[in-house]
Chains A and B, each alone.
Chain A
């Protein structure tokens, strides 16, 4: 005779328990509606707040009755923790929904083929576009990337490969640099280059300010990635007779390639929407300007900023359309970075 052992899950809640916990929620809902209806409270805020408080009280009582006071306290803490994550994620949902709803109205294919050189922001939505802003943002960010990528990666290499005397201070300084307000970066370029040397606004000045904001992001992400490279690889490189330079260039950096790409993507996402230094430095033109060293250069943040400042219904719609495009870019970059990270972790 064979005995079949049936797998059991003693921790799983029984139908009866599930029913009673459901009844707590049901009771809470009923009480909430009664309270809001009976008292002068009104609005979504009232529903949410009352539901939250009543649920905590009911859940507390339920757990105290079944399992004692400690369990009741645990239930209260659980309620607060749940409300915390709810409040933290509510804005992001609201932002995504808002941008989608309001930005949709201003989207049309002409956005990607026209600039604003012959249109004003108050023209009907179907006229004009943000070609100048898109090309401007791409130019600004690429130049900033060209400058900050080597510096950022060299900083990361110093922190992970050389580990010299200055490692501690440099780590600290990179951290401090990531906290530099963007407007200060803009003022710095004004004080150091625009006023004494060039005396005119241009895209390149904006790129330089973005560089300052980009370096710490790239350096920190790259450092994290390089730290994940197993030491055996470095030892193997040295054991084969490679100098440190050959080991780093031929073994360590190639092994960290996808991580470094992540660093680049995060750096781009960090600066793509940066507005304050752009407003100070680029001059914000309305036509496509391929020369970053001369003449005002438009960009997405500046376009949004300008449309928002004008404040007519048409320009606000344009601002939301601009935000839609900017957010789409940031989202795509972010998802790419995530996918790369996940793939690396799975390997």
Chain B
């Protein structure tokens, strides 16, 4: 009997149960979170450094940097920069940026929406597969290719169109022209930019259209709708804000485009509202143009211009992201 007492042993220790992640997982999560936050860090650094470099110019010019349209560096007799006289104002280039990109969006949106409709509702699967690949391929083309193509191939035709527009719509203020210089105008740049953003807007609109609820589509057909009445009654209302978001994304791309605009546009530092006149510019291409022979002070001004461009594209992109997201969530 005494033996049994010796066999009796202490109950097994309680296993420790925890929902806390293991050490390896903690490291993993830390590393991944760190990597994930890199985009925040990079964007923050971009803002910080451009602001740091451009601060002195922004401070001395104040609001004039955005509203003024003079870019002159005055030097005194000794060759030093005279800060009281020197003026940096990028309004002319901001107007040029807006002009070119708005032309681009106005041309690109109808074409893109129609193509997206074709790809979603009209094309047979075989054609659709090829066309989607072709449009995506176009989005991957480098911008210098568009620049050269625009300069050598597109520009002669677009000049001809510009002459036609001037001839028949010359009474509209923005199509007026004092001197018959059609070459390298904001209109040409706008057309090239339109070609560049068509794939972007097309693919966004196509994605939105393909999310159109199938029950509504079939309900429309069951009620005897033709394809067009279905599109008008179901697809367009559903995708409306998605199209707006896509257009804004395209606008953001067009505003930041550098090389293509630089090659086709005759960059002259002046306010030019006449889209057919061969003079204009945009902020990005102005930076590239002035950078080559810029002195230290001017480089700071270019950094400040870069900061303005950065904030502008960030704003437009965020708005478009917001609009597209809202469509995806609510369906309208």
A residues with CB within 8 A of B:
43, 45, 70-71, 73-74, 76-78, 80-85, 87-89, 91-92, 94-95, 98-99, 102, 150-151, 153-155, 157-159, 161-162, 164, 166, 169-170, 172-185, 187-188, 190-192, 195, 212, 215-216, 219, 243-246, 248, 266, 269-270, 272-276, 279-280, 301, 304-305, 308, 319-320, 323, 326-327, 330-331, 334, 338
Contact = CB atoms under 8 A, between A and B. Distances in A.
Contact of B36 (A98, A158, A176): A158
A187 B135 contact: no
B53 interface: yes
Contact of B140 (A172, A245, A270): A270
Contacts of B141: 95, 273, 327, 330
Interface stretch (B173-181, B271-279, B283-291): B283-291
Given A89-B134, A98-B153, A161-B32, A181 B310 contact: yes
Q: Which 4 A-B pairs have the closest CB atoms?
A: A273-B142, A84-B114, A154-B35, A181-B256
Contacts of A181: 255-258, 284, 309-310, 313
11 contacts: A92-B134, A92-B138, A98-B152, A162-B33, A174-B39, A176-B318, A190-B303, A275-B258, A305-B259, A323-B148, A334-B137
Interface in B133-149: 133-138, 140-149
Contacts of B255: 181
A184 B144 contact: no
Contact of A243 (B21, B122, B134, B152): B21
A273 to B, nearest CB: 2
Interface stretch (B1-9, B61-69, B223-231): B223-231
A216 B39 contact: yes
| A74, A94, A184, A301: residue with the most chain B Cβ atoms closer than 10 Å | A184
B161 interface: yes
Contact of B28 (A182, A245, A323): A245
Interface string B22-39: 101101110111111111
B172 interface: no
Nearest to B285: A183
Given A77-B228, A155-B39, A184 B309 contact: yes
Contacts of B327: none
A194 B47 CA distance: 16
B157 interface: yes
Contact of A84 (B118, B157, B249, B321): B118
B28 A244 contact: yes
A274 B142 contact: yes
A215 B39 contact: yes
Contacts, number: 270
Nearest to A175: B321
Given A45-B161, A195-B53, A245 B134 contact: no
A102 B310 CA distance: 36
Nearest to B116: A84
Contacts of A98: 149, 152-153
Interface stretch (B78-86, B88-96, B105-113, B211-219): B105-113
B40 A173 contact: yes
Nearest to B161: A45
Contact of B39 (A70, A83, A170, A275): A170
B302 interface: yes
Interface of B: 21-22, 24-25, 27-29, 31-40, 42-43, 45-46, 49-50, 52-53, 110-115, 117-119, 122-123, 131, 133-138, 140-149, 151-154, 157, 160-161, 195, 198-199, 202, 226-229, 231, 249, 252-253, 255-259, 263, 284, 287-288, 291, 299, 302-303, 306, 309-310, 313-314, 316-318, 321
Contacts of A331: 137
Given A98-B153, A192-B45, A323-B148, A280 B321 contact: no
A80 B232 CA distance: 14
Nearest to B306: A187
Given A191-B52, A244-B28, A327-B145, A182 B256 contact: yes
A215 B46 CA distance: 14
A308 B148 contact: yes
A74 B123 CA distance: 15
Contacts of B112: 84, 88
Nearest to B324: A175
A82 B310 CA distance: 37
Contact of A77 (B110, B144, B202, B231): B231
Contact of A85 (B28, B52, B114, B257): B114
A276 B258 contact: yes
Given A45-B161, A95-B141, A179-B249, A73 B229 contact: yes
A158 B32 contact: yes
B226 A71 contact: yes
Given A181-B284, A305-B259, A334-B137, 8 more contacts: A80-B114, A84-B114, A88-B115, A99-B149, A179-B249, A188-B45, A279-B288, A326-B145
Nearest to B259: A275
A300 B75 CA distance: 38
Contact of A244 (B25, B35, B45, B231): B25
